[in-house]
Structures are given as C-alpha cells and as structure tokens.
Structure 1
Amino acid sequence: MVGQQDKLEYNTLGVRTRFGRVWIPIGGELRTKILDEAHKSRYSIYPGTNKMYQDLRKEYWWPGMKHEVTKYVSKCLTCSQVKAEHQKPYGKIQQLDIPEWKWEHITMDFITKLPRTAKGHDTIWVIVDRLTKSAHFLPIRETFSSERLAEVFINEVVARHGMPLTIVSDRDTQFTSRFWKRFHEAMGTRLNISTAYHPQTDGQSERTIQTLEDMLRACIIDFGGSWDSHLPLAEFSYNNSYHTTIGMPPYEMLYGRRCRTPVCWGEIGQKELGSLEVIRETSEMFDQVKARMKAAQDRQKSYADKRRRPIEFDVGDRVMLKVSP
C-alpha cells in the first residue's frame, strides 16, 4: 500500500511534488538541464557525486536520482582531467578540538607559484573557519610584505567575522616573521604553527586547497580567462555546497540558510522568524553540527588510521617529498 507521504501532490505554485520536493518527470530534457546546472555552471563548478546529490535532493526528486547523479559525474570529461591523484597517506590523524563558535578558530595556507594574471596575482590565500567550514579565497601576490598581508587580513576577515582566537598555519616565512607575531600579540590571537606539508595536523586547509585547485582547473577548461576572475564564484560555490562533516553547506551553518542559485529556485521570499525562535534554532543548529563533527572525526580516524602506515624518521634520514600538482 502506498503511504500518504508517497503520493504526488501539488504545491502553491501548481508544481507537482513528492516527499516535499519537486518531482521531475522522466520525459524531456528537464533532468539533464538540472544536472548540467548543478554540475557545470559557474555557481556549482563541478562538485563531486555526494555534494551534487546532497545539493539536489533538497529541492528535487525522481526515481534512481542518486544512481543517475553518480553516473553523470563519472562520465564528466572535465572532472577526469582536473581531479588530483591520491596516494596512501602516512602517519596517524592528529585531530584538533572542535571550536565553540564560528570564525574564532581558523586555519590558513597559501597556494603559490600560480600563473601571474593581468592584475598581478600569483598566489591565493586560503582561510577556513574550523567550525562552519566556510572559506575565503583571497588573490594576492607572493611578494606581499607582512604589513600588506595584515592589512588584507583585517579588511577581508576581521571586518566580516571579528578577530579570531587561534590561527593554525604552516611555517611559511610570512607567518614566522617578527611583524606577524607582533600583530597577533597586539590583537590577542594565538598563532599555532604546524609542520609544512603535514596534513595530519592541518588536513582541512590541505583538502580545501585541493578542492579549490580542481575547481579552478575546471573553470579554465570550460570558461577560459584567468584564474583570479573565477575566484569569487569559486568561493561562493564552495561555501554554498553540501559539506559532509557538518551535514549542510557552510553558508547554511554561517547564515542560517543556504544562498539561492538557479538550481535552488523552489523557495520564494524569506522565512520570517521571531527573535527568540532564531536564538533557539541557532543554538540547536550549533549543537547538532558539533555532534556531527565529533561523529565525523571519530569515523574518519577509525577508518583512516587502519589504512595508514606509521612513519618515523631519525635526524639525517633522506626522504622524498611528493606534493600534489
């Protein structure tokens, strides 16, 4: 017997729905257009199978949807060209504590040696919030001084989110300079230095950088132009896409709702909430996300450490360092 919730219904706009989502018929090209928009447009920029499915399932439904999304992504020629090769990692995962509030504990790193653009940019400064997973991708020059980086940091991060309590970064010369240390002391921020190319400690920045590089490669292949012209929409796409660890897009965690795109046209208007209800829902969301992050950390460590090999070096040992292109 078919349950009441399984029956096709119509929403206020006269659109056929099922499970509260828009039902897409099998005939015509509508499904293909939705898949193209969710994968190839400048607002999405080639997400993986899980992200793409999670983004679509909130708005649309059709039989075998997940299988069709998986098949669609597997046949994408651009994805096969830009996705980086993975190698078996070394060392056990060393996880950081879960933050208590958004943009109080962040990580940052640089993507250097990029082709110089017409605006003179050759480096991307990647800054990620450890709680909401939201990120800023800032185009800069490798020759920027510590003073100039501090100015960019205040204008782009502090002005939007306030001064963080801790910053995790590797041993880049910009962060080990005396000016940068004095800057953090004056602002009351603790700078935690990790070992360079050591994803066991700062895997979040490394993974975000890998995703960003894949997105920019895809943009250059499909849309052309210089990489810094695609950076703003790459940041939007990253923050507005489903994140497995927190179970929602970073924008939804940061602002309370996901930003609208051509794919997510179902919601009309803005939801009105009373102040007390906003506080209650925000508190519940943070508790839920923290629980998800703790479960994700435990799950990642349990299956990742089983497949990792211990790594030990003595002073004077010669090692070969392989970095993803």
Structure 2
Amino acid sequence: MFGSRSRHTHYHQTNRSYYGILLLLAELSRSSHLPPITLTIIIINVLIYFDIFPLFGLSSNLQSVCISTHAVLDQGDYMRILLAPFFHGDDMHLYYNMASFLYKGQQLETLFGSRYFALLVTILTISSSLMLVILGQLVSSLFDNPEYLFTCAIGFSAVIFALKVITTHYTPNYSSNSLFGFIPISTKYIVWVELIVIQLITPNVSFLDKWHNYLSGIKFIWKTDHKALTQLNQKAQINKRCERWRLKILEYDFKVKYIPGLTNLMPYYLSRSPVDDGEDDPDETTHLISASTQTDILFNNTHSPIIAAVETRAMKLRNKILNDTNNNKKLTSDSLNTSVEENRIIPFSMEQLIQAQQDDSYAKNILNNIKKYKNYIIKENLLMRRLNPPVPYVPRGDIRQTILSIYHDTAANGAHFGRDKTLHKIKTRYFWPSMYKDIDNYVKSCILCAQYNPRRQKSHGTLRPIKPPDGVWQLVSMDFHGPITPTSQRGNKYIISLTDVLSKFVVTKAVRDNTAQTTVRFLKEDVISKFGTPRCILTDNGTHFTSTMTNELFKQIGTTHLYSTPYHPQTNGQVERYNSTMDAKIAALSNLCKTDWDNQLPFVTFNYNATIHSSTKQIPFEIMYGRSPVLPFDHQDTNVNISYDSEHAKKLNQFLSKLNEQAKINIIKNQERYKQRYDVNRSDPTYNIGDLVLVKTLNIHYKFDIRYEGPFRIIEKIAPKTFIVQHVKKPTLHRQVTTDVLLPIFQRIYQ
C-alpha cells in the first residue's frame, strides 16, 4: 500500500544522504507552476525528513509512526493514520514520492482548485491508511497468521497511486516525458531509454527466453493495451527494432488481442506488488562454477554472525549444489578419453555397409559377377568403386541419407555449403550412380540454406506492365515523399504528389506531415477543385491512404481506390519515378543549407510538366490543357487578337484525342522495350495453389538475419504475379506477395 514496509524493532534515519533532496530541488526549479497546496505538502514532507518534529514532541523513530493493524486497533495509536504517509525511509524514497506527487498535484490542483485538492489529499491519506489497517486484519484472519497484524508501512505511495488514477481519468493524454522525473527526453525515445536503464540494472532479461519452455508449441493469447501490436505480424516492419522482434516471435503460435488500458490491470499489479525474493530455479542454476570459488564465497559469508545464523532457501539450494559438486569424482585422463570416444560421430560401421550391399540386389549382382564389372573391385568383402583411391559403393537406403545429412547439415563435416562443395566431399569418400542428382535435390530442398543463403541472380518473375488508360484523369498515382532532411523554413518535411498515368502530368505540394487529414486536404484543394475528380486513384498501403477519412472522401466523390501490392513499389512506379527526378532538380536549385526546397518545388513541377516526356513523346501540359505552355522568358506578341471560333471546341477535342491516342501508343511501345530488357536472363516460375514457398524478409539490417521467412502455403491467386499466402505454423498470418519475393520449397526425394 505504501512505499516501504518495515518490521525492525528500531529504525532511525541515520547516515542520511541528501542526493534525493538535491534532485527534488532541481525538479522544483524546473517547474514554472507550483500550486500552493502541492508545494506545502512537499515542504512538510521535506521538513519531516529533517527531523523538525521532535521539537513538537513527536518522535523521529519510524517504528513509532509507521502504520500497522496492531498499532492502530490493539494499541489505539490513531495518530499513525495521519503521520505514516509523511515519513520516508531515505532521501531517494522521499524524492521518488514527491517528484511523482508534484506532477499529479500540478494537474489536479489546477483542475479542482486548491481548496478541493487539499480536501481530496486529506481523504485519500486517511482512507488509504484505514484500508491498510482493514486489510491487515482480514488477511490475518483469512490465513490465520498474526504476522500480518504487525506489518508496518510508511510513505506517500498509496496517495500517489490514487492520484494517478484520478489524473488518468481527467487527463488521459497527459504524460511526463522525463526519466527519473527530471531528465527531459523526447516522447519518441522515452520508452526505449527506460528499457535501456532496466537492461543495465537487470541485464539479459527476456520474456520470451524466460518463458520459452512454456510457450513453445502451444497456442496462447497475447493481451495488450498497445493496439498497434495487433498488426505486428501482418506485415514486415520498417523500424529495425520492430522487425527484429517480429522475426523473433514468429516461432510462437499466438493471437494478439487488444484490451483498453483501463482494464489492463494485471501488468500494473505484477509490476507494483511487493513480493518476497523467489528461490533460484534449479534448472537455471549453473553448474560450471568451480568448487573452490563456491567454497570461498561461503567461507567469507560465515565471518558475519548474522549471515551465519540465517540460511535462506536459495543458500540451501546453493549448499546442496556445492555438496554434490564436492562429492563428484575428479576427471582423469582415462575418463576424459572415454567421454571423447562416446561423443564421436560414427554414423555407420563398415560391417553395416557390407550387410547393406549384401541386401541390395544391384550390389549383390555386381559382387557375384565382379569380373564383368571392370569399374568395381572387392576389398575385404566390401564392394568398391575403382577410383584413385577406391571408394565404397553405397546402396539405396538409409545409409545414403545419413551420408547426405553428415556432409551437408553437420557443422564439422558440411556446414550447409552448396551442391558442388558437398558433391566433392562425398564423391572422394563414397560412390553411387545417382549421387549428383541426389545431392542436388538434397541441397535444393534444405530449408535453412534457402532461408539464409544470398541470391546472386535476378529476382524471379517477368515484367507485367500496367495497361495505359484511354484518357487523362482516368487513372492517377498518388504518394508521399519524405521525410525530407532538412526541414524547410516553413516547417515542411514531405512532398505529396499525384501523377496522371497517361499524360504524366504531375501535381505536387510541400506539406508538414503525411497524415490522412493532409491527404484529404490536398485532394480537395489542389486536385479536385482545380482539375476535377479522377476516376481511379492508385496508392500504396500507408495508413494515410487506408484510413477511414480517406476512404470516406473517395466514396463521396465516386472515385475507385486501388491499392498496390504491399512492399512492391513497382506497382506505383509512375510517382516513384518522378520522385527520384524531382530530388536532384530541387537540390540543384536550393540554397546552400537546402532549407528553401519547398520554394523550388513549384518551378521543378512546372518544368517537368512543360517538357516532353520520354515515354509518351508528348508534353504533359499539352495533353492536359490542349495548348502549349508559355514559359516566363518566351517572346509574346503585344497585340491580342480576340476572335470567336465556333469550331474551337470540336478542334480541341480532336487535338486532345489525337494526343491521347499517340501517347497511349508510345507508352505501350516503351513498355515493350523495357520489358524486353527486364526479362533478359530472368526466370518466370509458375506457382499453383497449395505450393509451399518462402517469403523474402524485408528490411534486413544484420549479417545473420534470416533472409526468407516461412514456410508459407499459397491459398489464393489474385493476379498472374500476385498471391495470398498463409503461414504453415501460424494459420492466422496471411500476406499478399508477388513472385519476386517468393522462393519455392523443393520436395526432398529419398532413394
């Protein structure tokens, strides 16, 4: 209930340290607003810590002020109900409580007012103390253990916890972005900094490693109040750290279930509930510590009479291990040699190979007619292939599979090298007629090799271009580009661009963020209101395009929203190509610090639209508007001729139709030329529903990261190069993938 508990017979605040007081003063100096009641309570706690109450007849002995059921109910010392929360065991105990109280007091006293806040703190102080007294009585009666009546507590933690609940209710978005309460840290990194500090205090702590024996091989539900984790396994993560976590947990079969933070009480209880030190798990106790070291530790401990008189459960376990270690026989050279002989890998004996040859009809025929087979000899009843030197013939059966496994899978003999190296090792030691085909199949069907070996050939799958539309503004591509460094002087960090697939006409805008609100505003103000509503819009799967707000706009304007395949930017290649061109031109025009790039963006976009495009062989501006663009320095006639041509609309339509048709023809020709170059020396595998495949791991950042995940099974074919796959071990995990990220799994054939 409170910050600390004590059952010592006498406990004084001796040998005080004032580091916590200095930290608290630093925290107070950082606060621009100090409400009066909050400040008064902090001052009272600090003064009590400095022992001013003995001047008023109150003892500074914590044992005389801490609250317990026995002291209040049996001895009638009701003053402890008010005094115990204001006493602290040491300066850091005081600092942690007061720093936490400071932030909550600033929020709540400003919200309720000083008068009601003082009343609230008083009620919480009394009620929390009474609750501890009542709980002590109930628990003592329930477990028939009078020890709970004497459990003594001090500190302000119960009041602070109650204030935290109230603060969370009234200000749910409030968070203190600081470490230890006084080191300011960005919200983006505060969680990671806390985890690093925890890892420094308790290194090598991992939930999955700790519970691996319990979770591996079973289905379990992972409940969390972090809703983003529900999508963790649905797609690869751009963030390096999240991707490593995702790959680590793929071996487990679980379902992530979201629960609101207010109902996620168990983690809060487990992280705050005071428990006794658990005894060491025998399975986790190392037996590699030398006997002399353990003896020295115990010998040193016996110098203290207190330690000698008290033996904990962990010490009993350690003493048992020590006794078992001392009773073990010492290793000798003979026993060591025996151990080495027992651990040596002997897959089969020569007698077993001879017997296998006798049982094989093909080998037996050669043995009985050895004179007819010049390529074979018999040596010590063993059929050998006549090579230099001769090697044994291996018949069909388990021995062949054992040899393949040893010379490819084991670390000492094979180390998962490729077909040629494995073949060379085996053919210099053994022989059978189909060894080349068998070794090739064995290496191809090795899952570990497929997952970790780099691919040095072109990605699979031939090019399948998108057919150009019949007219302008029928199909457009949209994407965000950024974040761009440095941020512009206006605070812009992204460029949102929209490209017409037929005319290649581009619309761009520099924006501050890449949210759904920015997307909707761009479409309304810069696209629809100026150029009209496009028939279809092609985007990637970013949250700014998949949000409810964006899809609602598309429904209102009657536009079809098309999504590209996840992690396959080639689908939306139109806008990606413009982004790469735009970067170089903006960089060349910007100032030395590159902070005015958003000023240059309109000029780069205009010149792109006013210049002939390599694919269409037309000017995007002309296809869009039906006239040639006029550049700022072009010579213009000073005389303006105002005339009316009744055939203007008809001529304009004919002109635009001709431009559109020619642009479409040129795009198709350009696509055919590019496809011809792209498909050179590139395989085009065929996949069917039910095939087992591996899927390429995206965002690999470390040398030993797995390159292909799986196995997956193809369950749906939605396009010639696009499939839906399902994880074999995790049926709830589905992905939409393309041919270029798939790797087929070969069936292992045994002979």
| TM-score (norm. length: structure 2) | 0.29
- The equivalent of 2:476 in structure 1 is 106
How many residues matched? 234
User: Post-superposition shift, 1:244?
Assistant: 1.2
CA contact under 8 A between 2:472 and 2:660: conserved in structure 1? Answer: no
Does residue 286 in structure 1 map to residue 652 in structure 2? Answer: no
Residue 206 to residue 148, structure 1, CA distance change in 2 (3 Å): closer
Residue 277 to residue 316, structure 1, CA distance change in 2 (3 Å): closer
- The equivalent of 1:318 in structure 2 is 697
Does residue 244 in structure 1 map to residue 614 in structure 2? Answer: yes
Provide the C-alpha distance between the structure 2 equivalents of 1:270 and 1:140, rounded to a whole number of angstroms: 39
Which stretch of structure 1 is more off in the superposition, 122-131 or 270-279? Answer: 270-279
- Paired residue secondary structure (1:234): helix
Residue 542 of structure 2 aligns to which amino acid in structure 1? D
Structure 2: gaps of 5 or more residues:
1-456, 702-751
Does residue 219 in structure 1 map to residue 589 in structure 2? Answer: yes
Residue 151 (structure 1) aligned to one of 506, 517, 521: 521
User: Post-superposition shift, 1:189?
Assistant: 1.2
- Paired residue secondary structure (1:101): coil
- The equivalent of 1:135 in structure 2 is 506
User: Post-superposition shift, 1:266?
Assistant: 8.7
Provide the C-alpha distance between the structure 1 equivalents of 2:654 and 2:562, rounded to a whole number of angstroms: 33
Provide the C-alpha distance between the structure 1 equivalents of 2:681 and 2:636, rounded to a whole number of angstroms: 42
Residue 316 to residue 128, structure 1, CA distance change in 2 (3 Å): closer
Residue 239 to residue 89, structure 1, CA distance change in 2 (3 Å): farther
Provide the C-alpha distance between the structure 2 equivalents of 1:237 and 1:222, rounded to a whole number of angstroms: 22
Q: Report the structure number with the largest CA radius of gyration.
A: 2
Q: Which has the higher contact order (CA 8 A, sep 6+)?
A: 1
Give per-residue Cα distances to partners, 1:66-114, cap 9 Å, x unaligned: xxxxxxxxxxxxxxxxxxxxxx974532322211221121001111111
Does residue 300 in structure 1 map to residue 674 in structure 2? Answer: yes
CA contact under 8 A between 2:489 and 2:595: conserved in structure 1? Answer: no
Counting only pairs closer than 5 Å after superposition, residues 172-211 of structure 1 correspond to structure 2 as 172-211=542-581
Residue 513 of structure 2 aligns to which amino acid in structure 1? E
- The equivalent of 2:537 in structure 1 is 167
Does residue 116 in structure 1 map to residue 474 in structure 2? Answer: no
Residue 260 to residue 89, structure 1, CA distance change in 2 (3 Å): farther
Provide the C-alpha distance between the structure 2 equivalents of 1:111 and 1:215, rounded to a whole number of angstroms: 15
Provide the C-alpha distance between the structure 1 equivalents of 2:677 and 2:635, rounded to a whole number of angstroms: 38
Residue 316 to residue 251, structure 1, CA distance change in 2 (3 Å): closer
Identical positions, percent: 25
User: Post-superposition shift, 1:169?
Assistant: 1.0
Residue 118 of structure 1 aligns to which amino acid in structure 2? Q
CA contact under 8 A between 2:502 and 2:660: conserved in structure 1? Answer: no
Residue 279 to residue 154, structure 1, CA distance change in 2 (3 Å): same
Residue 178 to residue 208, structure 1, CA distance change in 2 (3 Å): same
User: Post-superposition shift, 1:239?
Assistant: 0.6
Residue 314 to residue 236, structure 1, CA distance change in 2 (3 Å): same
User: Post-superposition shift, 1:306?
Assistant: 1.8
User: Post-superposition shift, 1:245?
Assistant: 1.1
Provide the C-alpha distance between the structure 1 equivalents of 2:605 and 2:479, rounded to a whole number of angstroms: 15
User: Post-superposition shift, 1:267?
Assistant: 8.6
User: Post-superposition shift, 1:270?
Assistant: 8.5
User: Alignment RMSD, CA only?
Assistant: 3.1
Provide the C-alpha distance between the structure 2 equivalents of 1:269 and 1:97, rounded to a whole number of angstroms: 45
Provide the C-alpha distance between the structure 2 equivalents of 1:225 and 1:129, rounded to a whole number of angstroms: 29
Does residue 94 in structure 1 map to residue 464 in structure 2? Answer: yes
Provide the C-alpha distance between the structure 2 equivalents of 1:117 and 1:195, rounded to a whole number of angstroms: 32
Residue 474 of structure 2 aligns to which amino acid in structure 1? E
Structure 1: gaps of 5 or more residues:
1-87
Counting only pairs closer than 5 Å after superposition, residues 47-62 of structure 1 correspond to structure 2 as none
Residue 191 to residue 321, structure 1, CA distance change in 2 (3 Å): farther
Give per-residue Cα distances to partners, 1:215-255, cap 9 Å, x unaligned: 11211267965110101101111111110111122112112
Residue 269 to residue 249, structure 1, CA distance change in 2 (3 Å): farther
Residue 672 of structure 2 aligns to which amino acid in structure 1? D
Provide the C-alpha distance between the structure 2 equivalents of 1:221 and 1:304, rounded to a whole number of angstroms: 38
User: Post-superposition shift, 1:186?
Assistant: 2.1
- The equivalent of 2:55 in structure 1 is none
Provide the C-alpha distance between the structure 2 equivalents of 1:148 and 1:227, rounded to a whole number of angstroms: 19
Residue 315 to residue 290, structure 1, CA distance change in 2 (3 Å): same
CA contact under 8 A between 1:256 and 1:282: conserved in structure 2? Answer: yes
User: Post-superposition shift, 1:319?
Assistant: 4.3
CA contact under 8 A between 1:93 and 1:201: conserved in structure 2? Answer: no
Provide the C-alpha distance between the structure 2 equivalents of 1:216 and 1:147, rounded to a whole number of angstroms: 26
